[in-house]
Amino acid sequence: MSPSADAAAPVPTSSPPLAPLVAAQLSYLLSHSKLPIRVGQIWSGCHNGRHSDRFTLSIPFCLDYVHWDFVYNALSPMVAPDVVFGQDDEGFQPLVDYADAGNDKSCLARWDYRDPRGLFALVHELRELYIECHKKQVAKVDDARVTFELSTVLTKEGIEVCMVPSADRPDEVKFAVPLLDVDFNFNKLVPGCPWRLPQKIHLQVIFPISRSSSYSSVPSAPRLKLISTSDLKSLFSVEDVKLPPWSNGMCLAEYLPALEESLNLLVVEASASIGARRRFIEALAPTFGRPIEADPIFCRRATVLSISGVFTFLVHFAIPLQFPKQQPILTLQSSQHCDADGAPIMSPPINDYPWSPRWDQAEMVERIYDFLADECQNFKKFCSDAITQQK
């Protein structure tokens, strides 16, 4: 998932601790789920209760979050929780539908309060049912293009759809389409990767609803946007991807292959760029001395200590994802001058120094060193002037 919506409410610090059996289930869910589930408010159903027994979970759905309350009873911890869905989910009654059909497949039919996996199973079961519920809602829309898109792309694993009601414009349908192979593992591209959750890239597609059973004219192009999980931005920025144009009469099944092929190449380039950034950081040592700080995984940052006469300062390198096409941004920090608040004086970001992506890393570093030999004098004067103005 790549949700991009409201963060869950912060957990009140005054809440009593969760009942032990409930806490065990919530802990298992958060540590084992591959979804970025967030815990919101936690509270007790009893006034001055010894333990909290209910909480809000923000659960990713269609590049957004839905907020559901899970209501346990601390006095009867053996009983499964009630679930209170959102205001817009009045039509979603999965457990009622199960009961009416005489279906006992729900994990609630086999609830064991001693099993910490209970809440995990319940949340994932309800989410799958919620996805199917919205697919059925969208399938009822009287729009020929939406109907066609559903029939051609819903077989792609992981697609989610929902209605997007609006007070000031016609209703719309949103598709959240996962890109690249389902088993594509970004973690394997980055040695020592710290990501616990799977990283994903989705194409958000929003179709306006024409409320017509046939095409009366050429339909307008949908609104398209690439969305990724937030951690992935350390490796690859979807904001830098130029989406292919949407031709008249095109459908998603035609649009996706070219986009995924282009995206695959860009991801491979992003992975290779880590090696180029690492070699640049390694090339700093012979000229500047060994960096006192460096990002060892994504190689996006490095800091060296420099001296010019009696003036000592730090040079911070912010290395862009598009390195070496884009040059590092330099920031100088004085080790001897502080502002009125006691913070070290720093230069504005610097990126107007000589640069060519065709140079090897050693020459890049030497050119930066030569540039800083003069620039540090300007920075020293900048610091002295700042101190004078404080007096």
CA distances, 252 to each of 149, 151, 229, 238 (Å) = 7, 11, 22, 19
**Amino acid at the residue 138:** V
Distance between CA atoms of residues 55 and 83, nearest Å:
10
Helix axes 118-139, 144-153, angle to 10 degrees: 140
Read off the tokens for 17. Answer: 């601790």
Q: What is the pTM of this model?
A: 0.81
Percentage of the chain beyond pLDDT 90 is 52
Question: What are the residues whose beta carbons fall under 8 Å from the beta carbon of 139, sequence distance 6 or more?
Answer: 147, 150
Q: How many CB atoms are closer than 10 A to CB 205?
A: 23
CA distances, 244 to each of 98, 183, 260, 261, 382 (Å) = 44, 24, 10, 11, 46
What value does the CA radius of gyration of the chain take, rounded to a whole number of Å?
Answer: 27
Output the pLDDT for position 11. 45
**Alpha carbon 204 to chain centroid distance?**
14
Weakly modelled stretches of the chain, pLDDT under 50: 1-13, 213-215
Distance between CA atoms of residues 388 and 382, nearest Å:
10
CA dihedral 96, 101, 105, 108 (to 10 degrees): 30
Closest C-alpha among 300, 390, 308 to residue 345: 390
pLDDT tens, position by position, 94-146: 876 555 555 567 888 888 888 999 999 999 999 999 999 999 989 988 888 88
Output the pLDDT for position 86. 87
Output the pLDDT for position 116. 92
Contacts 24+ apart (CB under 8 A), 321-325: 321/235, 321/236, 321/237, 321/240, 321/270, 321/273, 322/240, 322/273, 323/273, 323/276, 323/277, 323/280, 324/276, 324/280, 324/357, 324/364, 325/357
Output the pLDDT for position 214. 46
Contacts 24+ apart (CB under 8 A), 336-345: 336/311, 336/312, 336/383, 337/383, 337/384, 337/386, 337/387, 339/386, 339/390, 340/390, 345/382, 345/383, 345/386, 345/387
